[in-house]
Structure 1
Amino acid sequence: MSRVSDVWPRRPHRLSFGFPVPGGERTAEGWQIEWTGCAVMGVLNVTPDSFSDGGQHATLEAALAQARAMRDAGALIIDVGGESTRPGAEPVPAEQELDRVRPVLRALAGEGILLSVDTLKAEVAAAALAAGAHLINDVNGLRDPAMLQVCAAAGAPACIMHMQGEPRTMQVAPHYDDVVAEVHAFLRTQAQTALAVGVPSVLLDPGLGFGKTLAHNLTLLRALPELTAGPFPVLVGASRKRLIDFLAEVPRPADRDPGSLALHLYAARQGAALVRAHAAGAHVQALRVEAALEDPSLAPAR
């Protein structure tokens, strides 16, 4: 039997939508996006206080330039966030979050960019989808029934992330009896619930750094083949996170891209469908090289 690492560059993945999307193909079940191997979700924080790039893309001009650059570099999805969910972050009102993300979404509509919105508020999700978003990335894991209904009514897929607690307190002594069993069970249960109420498709995200210690994070990474062997595509987001500092002594988040690449290449080899990254272009490049090394038929003829 083939190992995940033998097949990941050619492993197919799919997301379904209830409306037309950039690059989508219309099918009997709606519109679908398909890709093989591991693709990149580029991070676009339009917040003043995100942990590694807060304020860098807070103006509309800077945000649009970054989104287009990530698209041109080969990112499959751009994930726009208007509220920081770093450990200890305070929540912001929905209208303030929308004031940050809505102009970006409206400006990018029609530019051929598949857009995700990183939010845990159903109100923000509904308005973001109306403004041009295609997918909802919910760090609260669709626990809110209203968020389920928003995604189902719009025909929008959702990324279901696991988080123990909430951002202000999630890193205060997180505890699990069996982190793999608990996280995977939560993700699978939420996925089945989402599909049952009409959400067209889902991504699963084990939520590295969201209510987890270093040991929890490493255990979840090593158990990725168990999660990626299931029917749902898996997203891994380790970009610039504190576990890289713990492993490699890199205190400044902006200096953690090499460690992010290492963790995400590992995740790709374990079958991850997407990695969520700040340095989107560097990740696209690294994943293409890694895929060609593992499957020589993917290397272009020269």
Structure 2
Amino acid sequence: MIRLPETSTTDSDSMTWKKHKLNDGYEIPGLAFGTWRIGRGEVPTSQVRQAVAVGVSHIDTAQLYRNETETGVAIQDSKLSREEIFIITKYSRIHGLDIQTSIRNSLEYLDVSYVDLYLIHFPRAALPDIPTIWKEMEDIQSNGMTRSIGASNFDVDQLTILLRSARVKPAVNQILLHPYVYTQQLPILEYAAEHQIVIEAYSVLIPITSLPGGPLDEPLAEISNKHDVTPDQVLLAWTKAKGAVVVTQNELQEIAVGRISQCWRFRQVTPLLSEEDIAAIDAAGAKGPPPKAQR
């Protein structure tokens, strides 16, 4: 099984979220609150605030999401010191802005002097080419605007191009990861492990939020019952077992009934899955999503 580098833990906290050691010496918390799909306005502010209030000190946003200002307000409201919170944002090449301008704007919106991790949001933002953009990423890191730099949605070929000219390795590659795409994402997981690049996974709950009725339903239900947890906890535990940092968020129905804080407390602990549990999820995921979702 692929496992990326993590800090050591004791048996007592083996079911909680650990920090992962990055290849540049920093650490990244294992569970992040993602602000994708939230949008502007008061909702992201309240959600980020409540996630932080229950101990989720890792916040993921992006230039493209257009909610960095609201995210920044919630971070400032948390009263946590800057060192107590881990902030990710991403260069998305909005309006064709260059990296220097983009990160300065992001720092202003977030109301911080640096971010912990700055990512190239997707390969098409790497214009005119990956080596040129990566050099600019290295420059903003050396200027202290971000501690770590990385990529998002890069495949093996794109990371290979990046590494050929890089002075600084990407610390992270943030990718889509859930059991239905695990087989196709396996090459990038293996490549990342080989090069000490931490994988950060998004949309890990898609099998239950967007693709119900597929081969995963049965094993998720059985494993949930065995461990007395819910299917989303099982999916989070599966992703953690693959060695990835997890970016997730609250579902709209949870927001509607005022369960945001409870949801995040609930997600702070995941079951300790057995090798048999993980193999059953892998096998079901390899069968692919329900037919309707494939059309």
Q: Per the shorter chain, which TM-score range?
A: 0.5 to 0.7
Q: Which ranges in structure 2 are unaligned for 5 or more consecutive residues? A: 10-18, 94-98, 128-132, 215-229, 251-263, 276-295
Q: Which residue of structure 2 lines up, in the alignment, with residue 129 of structure 1?
A: 107
Contact 2:117 2:149 in 1 (8 A): yes
| TM-score, normalised by the number of residues in structure 2 | 0.55
Q: Is residue 2:196 matched to residue 1:202?
A: no
Q: Which residue of structure 2 lines up, in the alignment, with residue 220 of structure 1?
A: 184
Change (3 A) 1:208 1:72: same
CA shift, 1:206, in A, is 3.2
Q: Which residue of structure 1 lines up, in the alignment, with residue 122 of structure 2?
A: 140
Q: Which ranges in structure 1 are unaligned for 5 or more consecutive residues? A: 18-28, 85-95, 164-182, 250-257, 295-302
**Matched position secondary structure for 2:20:** strand
Q: Within 5 Å, give how 1:1-302 maps onto structure 2.
A: 3-4=1-2, 10=8, 13-15=20-22, 32-33=26-27, 39-45=30-36, 50=37, 53-54=38-39, 58-59=41-42, 62-81=43-62, 83-84=64-65, 103-104=73-74, 110=81, 112-121=84-93, 122=99, 123-129=101-107, 131-132=111-112, 133-141=115-123, 143-144=126-127, 145=133, 146-154=136-144, 155-162=146-153, 183-190=155-162, 193-194=165-166, 196=167, 198=168, 202-208=171-177, 217-223=181-187, 226-227=190-191, 229-230=193-194, 231-241=196-206, 245-246=210-211, 248=213, 261-272=233-244, 274-279=245-250, 280-286=264-270, 289-290=271-272
Change (3 A) 1:9 1:136: closer
Mapped partners of 1:149, 1:243: distance in 2: 41
**Matched position secondary structure for 2:211:** helix
| TM-score, normalised by the number of residues in structure 1 | 0.54
**Matched position secondary structure for 2:240:** helix
* Greater fraction helix: 2
CA shift, 1:191, in A, is 5.2
Change (3 A) 1:187 1:74: farther
Mapped partners of 2:151, 2:189: distance in 1: 18
Q: CA RMSD in A?
A: 4.1
Instruction: For residues 13-44 of structure 1, give each alpha carbon's deviation from its aligned partner in whole angstroms, at most 9, with x where no partner exists.
Output: 32377xxxxxxxxxxx7xx3366xxx101113
Change (3 A) 1:224 1:70: farther
